[in-house]
Amino acid sequence: MLAALFPGQGSQSVGMSKFLYDEFSLAKQTIEEASDALSTDMAALLFEGPEERLMLTENTQPAILTSSYVTYKVLDSLIPVEITAAAGHSIGEYGAFVVSGALSFADALRSVKTRGQQMQKAVPAGEGAMVALMGASSEQALEVCAWAKSENPVGGEISAANFNAPGQIVLSGHAKQIEFVSKNAKPDILKEPPKKLRFIPLKVSAPFHCSLMQPAEDHMRGVIESLEMKAPSFPIVQNLDGKPHTDIGELKENLIKQISGSVLWVDCVQSLKEARCRKFIELGNGKVLAGLMKKIDPELKVLNINNLDDLKAVENDLKA
């Protein structure tokens, strides 16, 4: 049983998917399709950047979706990819919608462009932040957030945004509160103190997946509800609850609420395992999800495609 994984923000890099563009006319055609949908030169954005431009949320999100879809299209043209279920990390969820046939590529691109614009607009630059909390369990991460709100009530919002892997949870909220936690939260504030807590600031342009994103979610409700959507060809395990869905109404509602809701990635992987998926393919740039999967369950096999040798290896693996 093969599951498709679609990476999210943080997986982007200048030059992403160029090896496919240079080698396959189908990749060039797909990237041109993205350019037409957004009236933007997507090849220039993907291959030339510069990084500062690619890092803008309204550009990052369509770029990631394009890279994922191009990777899938090329692989599927070489050997039909039989996907049992899929999950995407945050913006990656849109890649799952497109590959499943639930949403057209053009509609998805326009939606994520607007999503990125609204998420950036929701919080003024510099007022929000995200930090990776290393060494704490899910329960302890929630305990850290509750401690911060109690000890620093004027600091503002802080919550667990991404449950990425055991011992790797991302916190999101007001920059002042994130700074307070990073400097002051020690293991002994917890009921069962771990050996060490470590905070790693993330280079993001907004505090994603927390209540500060509610204005963006409110705007995107109208956008997503108006989308023409079909039942997917395979279940999509969604971030909001970590469960598989095929009902169009549920898919849309979960996609809307995902904007301010937490990414329950560990739960998503567990649901894929329960669906008897034992082989996974990360469709998109980098190996971010492969790294998380090793921490969740080292026995799970994750295939990646980041160069032509990778592509050939995956093709041979799927044939076998």
Per the CB < 8 A criterion, the answer to whether 20 and 70 are in contact is yes
Residue 193's domain is classified under what CATH number?
3.30.70.250
* Torsion (CA) 173, 178, 180, 182 in degrees, nearest 10: 150
Retrieve residue 300's tokens: 């799970």
Give the containing element (helix H, strand E) for 279.
Answer: strand 279-282
Out of 209, 219, 260, 262, which one is annotated catalytic? Answer: 209
Total domains in the chain come to 2
Give the pLDDT means over successive 10-residue stretches in the chain (320 positions). 95 97 98 98 97 93 98 97 97 98 98 96 93 96 97 97 96 98 96 94 92 97 97 98 98 98 98 94 97 94 97 94
Range of the domain at 182: 128-201
Please indicate, yes or no, whether residues 148 and 274 belong to a single structural domain of this protein: no
Cα–Cα distance list, 314 to 11, 68, 279, 300 (Å)? 20, 15, 11, 15
Retrieve residue 298's tokens: 């080292």
Please indicate, yes or no, whether residues 117 and 132 belong to a single structural domain of this protein: no
Quick check: is 206 in a domain?
Answer: no
Res 179: pLDDT = 97
Res 76: pLDDT = 97
| 3-class secondary structure, 39 | coil
Res 125: pLDDT = 85
Res 156: pLDDT = 96
Question: Catalytic annotation on 209?
Answer: yes
DSSP 120: H
Res 157: pLDDT = 97
Please indicate, yes or no, whether residues 137 and 118 belong to a single structural domain of this protein: no
- Domain end among 201, 234, 250: 201
Please indicate, yes or no, whether residues 8 and 62 belong to a single structural domain of this protein: yes
Out of 68, 90, 159, 271, which one is annotated catalytic? Answer: 90
Res 205: pLDDT = 83
CA atoms in the 13 A half-sphere facing the CB of 167: 12
Q: How far, in Å, CA of 318 to CA of 320, rounded?
A: 5
